[in-house]
Structure 1
Amino acid sequence: MRLFKHAYKRGIATALLALAMASGVATSAQAASVSEGVTVIPGTYLFDFDTGSLTTGPGADVWWEQITSTSRVLMPYSTAQLAYVGQVGVGGLSFNALTVSDLEALTYSSTGISGGDVGNLLTANSVFAVKTDAGNYGKVLVTFPFFQAYQNNGLGVYWVTMTPTIPVPEADTFSMLLAGFGLMASVVRRRSV
């Protein structure tokens, strides 16, 4: 009988922990890589940072718009948004050090990023971020600007797309979880008497 009670108590604790994890209670912030790679986005093409592929529409995150022969704009597509981050090495910016939490903290917009002759921000070693239409976050490093004729004037990029962090719960959530464990322990104790 005593062995049964011990297994019963352990079963309740395991069930409560599984319930807490299933309901989104996490013990730390986590992010997983969705896609990563190097590509050239040709003029007037759409690109999906979630799948890492050129696309024809659904799922696309950016559109490399050609305005004139020397002016381009990287435009967000559908519900995706962009944020210009800066130039690697300026102000201590490190592409590799950017975390998904850093990307989540940026201010995103549906305004394009200039990549042409007027106000060009998309030069080699510049970094921008994408909040994808699927809700993921991508950090993107420009490997070469569009005016490289041998690359068909496409924008060369290296990107890493990550899932958003799982929110770290408030202290109240842990308090409620501990209160639940206490209540279950008292029920088990009362039944064992």
Structure 2
Amino acid sequence: MALVPDLNPAPLPADAVEVSRVQEAWGIKGWVRLHPYSADPEALFHARQWYLAPPEGRYARGFDAFTGTVSVAVAEIKFHGEGVVAQFDAISDRNAAESLKGARIYISRADFPATTDPDEFYWVDLMGLAVVNRQGVDLGVVRDLMPTGPHSVLVLEYQADGKPQERLIPFVSAYVDEVDKVARRITVDWQPDY
């Protein structure tokens, strides 16, 4: 039997991005501790409507709060210590909050705050972009980004001799000339044999 009352079944928006998961209940008034996937979870703080999906993997065992995706309104979210905690309008006690452990949190990409710096990008916006060098040579498609401390690295996937290969390019202005989200292309100062 589900312990969570009045959650609205809702499909994920077409532009949904998984941004966090519920770690555990926090306190006695229905708050939950979150595990944000970003070091700077401003998108979580900006969006007021979240979508919860059942957990996968080890968190899925024993999960019975809901079976499909549900929409929840965020009543409050704040930093607590080095973590983030949140409360939903529909959750008012610890038992209900405990039943959400492991739930995946999605928000609509349209609810992300706008970037103010033209050289600042959300990783999700770079995924799937084609990467070409200044000479127009196709270097691959962005499959992932890897944090390395001072900067991120584009992880490209490309084909060579009919086999998938991986290419790494530092995502810094010394190598990245332009990111054109409309054309879905990144132009870099990089050669295929680097």
TM-score by length of 2: 0.21
Higher strand fraction (1 or 2): 2
Task: State the TM-score, normalized to the length of structure 1.
Answer: 0.21
The structure with more helix, counted as a fraction of residues: 1
